[in-house]
Amino acid sequence: MIFSPDWSNTLLIENGAVVTLDAERTVYAPGYLFVEGDRIAALGSGPTPPEIRARATEVLDARHQAVLPGFTNAHTHLSQTFMRGLSSGRSLLSWLKDLIWPLQAAMTPDDMHLAALLGLVENLRCGATHVVDHHKITATPAHTDAVCQAAQTLGVRLTLARSWADRGKNAEPPDSILADLERLFALHPGTGLVSIANGPLVPWRCTAETLRQTHALAKQHGAPSHIHISETREEVQMTVDETGLRPVAWLDNLDVLDENTQIVHAVWIDESEITQLATRKATVVHCPVSNAVLGSGVAPLASLRRGGVRVHLGTDGPASNDTQDLFETVKWALGLTRATSLDAANPAPVDVLIMAAAGHALRPGTPADIILVNLDHPRAVPVHDPTSALALSTHGSDVDTVLVGGKVVMRARHVLGVDEPALLEACRLAATALRQRAERAN
Ligand SMILES: [Zn+2]
């Protein structure tokens, strides 16, 4: 397979197990992958053909490593890197109202920038080349811009789902939500590393009219709407009591359930909602670790797959997980689904890896967002099946090298865009000061 763009930067990765995650589940072990500019130019099995090797300006030896598409962490809250370890012993609603929202309200743009850098570094280290931040700190445009700047500094892809709530505590006027979304779409038209999505928080904090308007605006820009749905039984009941409809049916009734809609959690959904999600071609973002830690439940992944619903994986924010390790999420998604459906064969390891890569595959002509994962350690050796090793034996800390758009952004565990020890120290100081400020304010 060969693709021929006109680029001068070339990079060859060879001797690794190339796990393409394509529709045929092709694995080349060993194989090679050749990058020209920002694209994959060629890949295949066995040793690198001499004519390709002759064109390589840089060669990475991936012996005892897997080479696969970068993961998409399809739902997180980067601000919560400053709030790790604060989930214990509370249900979702009390955790949000008593702990998380007061801390978020006290964050400055500088705090937000540091928290985003920290969270994005962790994501890169765990193999995510694309992060969807459901960004809750919209106090000023500077808070939002700080996150986009952090992604650009590190060279990681970011979808910033601009969160909003136009009812309940600290409700934001609809005009200001729409104006800020317009500002962000103009600033980030989707041609660079950063893209924008509509991010309604949750049905019980959003009015029907603003949901319709923001969804329509996002669609004009080809952008998704990204919303928490049915994380807990209590929330489902709140929507049923208020509207007479279950949350997915309520979205459908408002005409905001379509192929641009990303439903985060979907823990408490029934068979009729699964049919609606499949019919409308919506995406579910499955966050099994966060759902378990908060005692919310287990989303019906086996039923979603049987129903033909597209599923991506997210860690959710560090305050409810507490890591951004998508490899951990892969194993939980596989294990919890098999345990609850009493089916040892489904999903297969490769099925869950495909969800983690959000459907991206290694193919000629596609963006060179690639990770090299070390399988040369006692948790993985011997590697009889690279997809099993990746789904069941791998931790995020095994990710060795990360490319985004053909550029190496982490090499041999070293993130290139930031002085990491200095970042950690700055985050420790800023997070301590934030907690003190939030306590004084309450
Ligand atoms: Zn969330």
Gap from CA of 94 to ligand 1 centroid (Å):
15
- Sign of the Cα torsion 164, 165, 171, 175 reads positive
Distance from residue 276's CA to the centre of ligand 1 (Å): 22
Compute, in angstroms, the gap from residue 89 CA to the centroid of ligand 1: 18
Residue 8, pLDDT score: 62
Bridge partners of 257, per DSSP, are none
CA 16 / ligand 1 centre spacing (Å): 35
Q: Which of 260, 248, 249 is CA-nearest to residue 214?
A: 260
d(CA 75, CA 315): 6
Per-residue model confidence as pLDDT tens digits over 78-112: 999 998 887 666 777 777 777 888 888 899 999 99
Distance 227 CA to ligand 1 centre (A): 8
User: CA dist 91 to 105, 183, 292, Å?
Assistant: 20, 36, 11
Distance set, CA 54 to CA 37, 320, 327, 384, 388 (Å): 16, 49, 35, 32, 34
Q: Tell how far the Cα of 48 is from the centroid of ligand 1, in angstroms.
A: 43
Q: How far apart are CA 101 and CA 166, in angstroms?
A: 15
Ligand 1 geometric centre to CA of 396 (Å)? 21
Q: What distance lies between CA 134 and its chain's CA centroid?
A: 10
Instruction: Name the one residue in this structure whose structure tokens are 């989303």.
Output: 299
- SS3 state at 323: coil
d(CA 265, CA 138): 22
Nearest to 252 by CA among 223, 286, 284, 277: 277
CA of 344 to the centre of ligand 1 (A): 29
The structure's pTM equals 0.96
Exposure letters 16-43 (e unless 16+ CB within 10 A, then b): bbbbbbeeeebbbebbbbbbbbbbbbbb
What span, in angstroms and rounded, lies between the C-alpha atoms of 40 and 382?
A: 29
User: Tokens representing 342?
Assistant: 């009493």
Whole-number Å distance, alpha carbon 194 to ligand 1 midpoint, is 20
Ligand 1 centroid distance, CA of 134 (Å):
7
169 C-alpha to center of ligand 1: Å?
A: 18
Q: What is the pLDDT of residue 16?
A: 98
Q: How far is the CA of 316 from the centre of ligand 1 (A)?
A: 5
Ligand 1 center from residue 135 Cα (angstroms): 9
What is the strand order of the sheet 310-313 is part of?
71-76, 128-135, 157-164, 194-200, 225-229, 261-265, 283-286, 310-313
* Cross-strand partners of 36: 10, 39
Distance 136 CA to ligand 1 centre (A): 9
* Sequence-ordered alpha helix ranges (H) in 133-270: 141-154, 174-187, 208-220, 233-243, 247-253
Tell me the sheet residues that pair with 422: none
pLDDT at 88: 64
CA 14 to centroid of ligand 1, rounded, Å: 38
Compute the distance from residue 246 Cα to the ligand 1 centre, in Å: 19
CA nearest 138: which of 85, 198, 96, 221?
Answer: 198
Residue 265 CA, ligand 1 centroid: distance in Å: 8
CA-closest candidate to residue 266, choices 222, 310, 223, 224: 310
Å from CA of 394 to ligand 1 middle? 25
For 257, counting Cβ atoms within 10 Å of its Cβ (0-12 exposed, 13-18 middle, 19+ buried), the class is buried
Query: 203 alpha carbon to ligand 1 midpoint, in Å?
Result: 13
Residue in 268, 232, 224, 276 with CA at minimum distance from that of residue 250: 276
What is the pLDDT, as a whole number, of residue 438? 84
**Which residues does the chain have with pLDDT short of 70?**
1-8, 87-89
Q: What is the CA radius of gyration of the chain?
A: 21
- Distance, CA 92 to ligand 1 centroid (Å)? 10
Torsion 253-255-257-258 (CA) sign: positive
Q: What secondary structure does DSSP assign to 119-148, as a single string?
A: HHHHHHHTTEEEEEEEE---SSHHHHHHHH
Phi-psi map region of 89: left, alpha, beta (phi>0 left; psi -120 to 50 alpha): left
337 C-alpha vs ligand 1 centroid, how far in Å?
Answer: 20
> How high is the pLDDT of residue 205?
95
How far does the centroid of ligand 1 lie from the alpha carbon of residue 77, in Å?
A: 6
DSSP per-residue letters across 413-424? TEETTS-HHHHH
Distance 341 CA to ligand 1 centre (A): 25
Give whole-number Cα distances, 18 to 40, 42, 385, 402, in Å.
Answer: 13, 12, 12, 14
In DSSP terms, 72 is beta-bridged to: 130
Tokens 């020209």 locate to: 36
* Cα torsion through 269, 129, 33, 328, rounded to 10: -50
Q: How far is the CA of 8 from the centre of ligand 1 (A)?
A: 41
Per-residue pLDDT, 84: 87
Distance between Cα 436 and ligand 1 center (Å): 24
If you measure from the C-alpha of residue 256 to the centroid of ligand 1, how many angstroms do you get, rounded to a whole number? 19
58: Cβ contacts below 8 Å, ≥ 6 apart: 10, 11, 12
